[in-house]
Chain A
């Protein structure tokens, strides 16, 4: 069975501090991994996917197959990063359902 675990419900950091949102997964095979973000009063939207290997809004995430992790990182948190972050996985290649973690609320304070 596929599973995504986000151990922290809430992560509170100061502006300018580094951020790491943890995500571990369980999947038989090679999944696609995603981070989705939901800002206050906005719809859920894709932040980044591991295949793209890109940095979005200063965030990066590296897939570690040995540790089955896909942690989201940003070196310097900004107030506008405050949101709900969901890690998700799907089967490789073609369209298939997303399995989400329970989400981590990131709170960036001054």
Chain B
């Protein structure tokens, strides 16, 4: 079993839809949870950052962490074609030496 699992997609949605992206993990030591967005042929860029369990909202983006289920989610409201990218979840323990990425989900938002 991989340490972090993520549905690779591709996920295609119409413009304006609510998108739900998810990751599951197995290491209970993870405390920091990140979502990165990666456009084609570019480096990943940090989108959301959460510590421990709970929700965090930033504009159209909401990150949720459920540590009891070892499950994290990223919701995108009113999705736009410019949201089309690969979304990577990442996790880190308290010591900062175990930083693991999910394989990424490719999202296409169709106009």
Whether A associates with B in a native complex is no
The interface of chain B, by Cβ under 8 A from chain A, is none
Residue ranges of A at the interface with B (Cβ–Cβ < 8 Å): none
